[in-house]
Structure 1
Amino acid sequence: MRPAEELRYLILAAQREGNRLLSQALRPLGVTPSQAEVIRILQDRRQLTLNGLGELLVCESGNSPSRLVDRLISAGLVHRQVSAQDRRHIELSLTEDGLRLARQIIEIEQALYRSIDAAAEGHDLGQLTHFLRAFVAGRPSGQALARRIDTQ
């Protein structure tokens, strides 16, 4: 197997394993990793339009987050309101239940990050991170992540 092919499959395997671990941890809360990403973005931003949310999602890059948001609205976690400034825009924010859930999601994410930190001990993550940023630069998921990083 050539190195580029192995790298491709290692990235895919790492993504799947990370997503599996996150899914398992989120299951008791009744949300998926994609729904958790929406909740965390809305917690960080307080209020966003549907389009603004779509520009920041890595899990759904290039797709409308409408279905994700509709499920969260039905669950009572997200509030949808027509913008006072522009009636064509829908503004989204977390409900009190959504804010409580966001705090639980943060705890789960922090536990996942601690396990990644432990696995990475002794390795230079800076070089890997630099390579991966360059690899996704200019692509939809990379652009969404860059927008999120730029506004933190």
Structure 2
Amino acid sequence: MTRRNATKADTAAEERSLSELRHLILAAQREGNRWLADELRPAGLTPSQAEVLAVLAEQGELTLAQLGRLIVCETGSPSRVVDILVKRGLVRREPGTIDRRVIHLSLTPEACDLLELVSKAEHSLDAVMLQMLDPEEQMTLATLLRRILSGTGSGEAIQRRYGPR
């Protein structure tokens, strides 16, 4: 085999490997989302809705912009998800006391009742991951995924929510 052919073969193998990696990441996200959706179905919540509730539970009252900087599941603005949660009576919108144009979001008592189910769903998915990856493998994978997401909106949301590593 000539050097030129070996280089083409190496390039083709590298491209195939990257393609597989890309699809593995997408497939893992899809399967995790399906698992979480199944666990959340009894509460009538989607993973994106559950994440909004969880972030509001963790952080307390937030503006829509602040919430948008912390969530990962929903692409773009979280306003569509928040609208649904407001209509369901799970999130409250209140104008700011200083600037009435700023809208603050908070959980309603009905949402607080659902947080235990959201937490159980998240813990159920965590338990599956614990069966598949030991703590060192989890840390390695998290480090590699943070590197892949570095400089992206999702990577920045992860860093704001969980801190730097």
TM-score bucket (shorter structure): over 0.9
**Residue 5 of structure 1 is aligned with which of 15, 19, 36?**
19
Q: Which structure's CA Rg is the greater one?
A: 2
Could you say what the CA RMSD is over the residues aligned between the two structures, in angstroms? 1.6
Gaps of 5+ in 2: 1-12
Report the counterpart of residue 77 of structure 1 in structure 2: 90
Q: Does the aligned pair in 1 maintain the 2:72–2:154 contact within 8 Å? A: yes
Gaps of 5+ in 1: none
Report the counterpart of residue 103 of structure 1 in structure 2: 116
- TM-score when scaled to structure 1? 0.93
In the alignment of these two chains, the number of paired residues is 150
Q: Which runs of 4+ in 1 moved over 3 A?
A: none
Q: Does the aligned pair in 1 maintain the 2:40–2:117 contact within 8 Å? A: no
User: How is 1:1-152 mapped onto 2 (pairs within 5 angstroms)?
Assistant: 2-61=16-75, 63-121=76-134, 124-150=137-163
Task: Provide the rounded CA distance (Å) in 2 between the counterparts of 1:51 and 1:76.
Answer: 20
Task: Provide the rounded CA distance (Å) in 2 between the counterparts of 1:84 and 1:59.
Answer: 30
Post-superposition offset of 1:74:
0.6
- TM-score when scaled to structure 2? 0.86
Task: Provide the rounded CA distance (Å) in 1 between the counterparts of 2:32 and 2:136.
Answer: 18
Q: Among the aligned pairs, what percent are the same residue?
A: 45
Matched residue type, 1:42:
L
Matched residue type, 1:108:
A
